[in-house]
Structure formats: C-alpha cells, structure tokens
Amino acid sequence: MAHTLYRASLRLHSAFGTLLVGDTLFGQCCWAVREQWGESELQRLLNGYTTGNPWLVVSDGFPAGFLPKPTLPQSFESASSAEERKAIKHQRWIPLEVVGKPLKGMLAEAKSDDEAYTKKPVEAVQPHNTLNRLTGTTGTGQFAPYTQRQIFYAHNQAIDLYLALDESRLPIEKMRILLEAIGMQGYGRDASIGLGKFGVNSIESHHFAPAISPEKTNAFWTLAPCAPQGLGFDADKSYWRVITRFGRHGSHQALAANPFKNPVLLTATGAIFAADKPADTLFIGQGLGGNGQLSKSEPATVQQGYAPVVSLNRDD
C-alpha cells in the first residue's frame, strides 16, 4: 500500500449548502466513480477499505495556504489576558509557511477568517418556494414557502484540498476527472438547484515542509473528521472534539424510502493524537461500515473514518 499526498486547488463558483468536509466529499467521490465507470469499478476500489487499505483519503476544504488550527488547551498558547484569550478563539487558521515550526510557534502565527479568506464567508438564510403545479402558486403544507441556510463565499474563493491517493488503484488523472465532475454537478445539499459548484485549478504532489523525521514524530494533526478508536493513541496526551454524523445517502439513494444512515461518532478536524511509537504515514483512522453496519437500504455503504495528517512533535 503506497499512497501519495496531493494538494488540489479549487475555485468556488457558488454558495454551498454543506461545508466542504472530507468524509462527505469522499462519499460523493464514491458515487462519482459509480456514475463514471460503473458499480464493479467502485467495488474494486473499495476492496480492503474497512481493513486499513483505503484507495483515497480526503481532507476538508481549507482557505488556500492555510490549515485548521489544532484542537489544544489554551495552556499551549501565550495569551495572558482575557482580551487576548478572546482574540485567540477567532484565530482558526495556521499558515502553511509556518507548518513544521515548534507547536507553540505555529499557534502564535494563527490567523482569523478575515485574514485567511479573500472575504470572510457569510452564513445566511435563503428563502425558497415550492409551487403547486395545479394552482401555479405556493400554499400550505408541502407547498409552503421555506428557508434554508447557505454559506456564501467570495467569488472564485481559492480552497485547498489534500488527497492521500493510492495511484496503483486510481491514477491521479482519473482523480481529477472525479473532482471536476463533482464540481460541475455540485457538492452537498441542494446541488440540484445550483449550490456547491467549484472548478479544479490544479492538483500537485505535496509535502508538508519542513518535514519532521519519523523518529521525532510523537503526534498527528488531523485534516478531516476521524475515527481513532482502538488504534493505540495515548488518550492522556491527545486532544479532540467529538462530532456526530447523521449521514444520508446521495445520488439515487437520496430518493429511497429510507435515505438516512446510522449515526457515527467522529473526532472533529484539527484533533491531535499522541502516538506511543513514531510512524511515517500520510493518514490515520479507519474505514467504517460495510455489511449493513451503516445502512440497511445499501448494506455495502462505508464511511470515511480516515483523515490525512501532519506529523508533529507535541513537546516542542
């Protein structure tokens, strides 16, 4: 199993109904494989997925040139007053150029949304109407006007996406085809009405520099939601937030009688997991599901519980 880390540069072309998160995007990549090349190709790629051999691990989407700030107690930061601690809460992004510095040095360089994005994203309510085709108007019940929240970015906002790809199973050229197909069709909720559109500028191999040698690595910093249970991390020296994924199927299964998956507990992006033994890896976590564990309507359903990682020394 040999994976290569790639950095994809995306340009956002519309508002989004769903945040660009790795596990959701992985699911859409699977549907895109099925639609582009058929069910048998998807099954080939997913062989070994739940036994530590994923064909692809996808990060969340981050403002270009930044990574998500690690989840750590404020004791790791240098704030000395209430005002400084309040300001630190809004500094959510680590510039790529400081990745590899000692941990406290990286945290001191963290930036806010206003600094990381071309324009700070805005979450706002968007009104919708559903017309009764018999009357040509809205009405009550299923035809009542409604609102949904959308995330608005600057036009052509640049976003970085990190991909740990097993090219022996899928060449990078085909990976680009998948991302372009998703970008044209739309990612996440309400893609059918124009949300979640993006373009792919480039996909290039990437190394987080300066690289930390394996013998100095004692922790991993996750770039996507992750399922670390039972993998031997030192819980007393690790830091994370728990999130619950109430997933639902996409593509034609979104219209099935039961489109919902079983809930899954994951750690949020930016977790720090301390390792007893150094390891040289591009990702950690595990593949979840299969054999009806996540879905009765689609028993083969899997969930990305893997996350791309940055190796670091938490004691620096």
Q: DSSP of 88-156, one letter per residue?
A: HHTEEEEEGGGTTS-HHHHHHT-EEHHHHSSS--EEEEEEE---BTTTTB--SGGGS-EEEEEEE--TT
Report residue 141 as tokens: 């019940």
To the nearest whole percent, how much of the chain has pLDDT over 70?
Answer: 90
Report residue 113 as tokens: 């949304």
pLDDT (mean) for 182-195? 92
Q: In the structure, what pLDDT confidence band is assigned to residue 146 with cuts at 50, 70 and 90?
A: low
Helices 22-37 & 172-185 angle (0-180, nearest 10): 100
Please check whether residue 18 is in contact with residue 187, taking contact to mean a CB–CB distance below 8 angstroms.
yes
- All structural domains of the chain with their residue ranges: 4-127+147-312
Question: What ranges in the chain are assigned the alpha helix state H?
Answer: 22-37, 39-46, 82-89, 103-108, 113-116, 172-185
257 pLDDT more than 70? no
pLDDT confidence of residue 206: 95
Q: What digits encode the pLDDT tens for the residues 226-250?
A: 999 999 999 999 999 999 988 666 6
Sign of CA dihedral 215, 220, 223, 228: positive
User: Helix (H, G, I), strand (E, B), or coil: what is residue 2?
Assistant: coil
Angle at 167 between CA 161 and CA 171, to 5 degrees: 80
What is the distance between the alpha carbons of residues 265 and 225, in angstroms, rounded to a whole number? Answer: 10
Q: What digits encode the pLDDT tens for the residues 85-134?
A: 777 888 999 999 999 888 888 999 999 999 999 999 998 777 767 777 77
What is the distance between the alpha carbons of residues 45 and 42, in angstroms, rounded to a whole number? Answer: 5
Q: What digits encode the pLDDT tens for the residues 283-301?
A: 999 999 877 777 776 777 8
Q: What digits encode the pLDDT tens for the residues 49-68?
A: 999 999 999 999 999 999 99
| Euclidean distance between the first and the last CA atom of the chain, given in angstroms as a whole number | 31
pLDDT (mean) for 197-207? 96
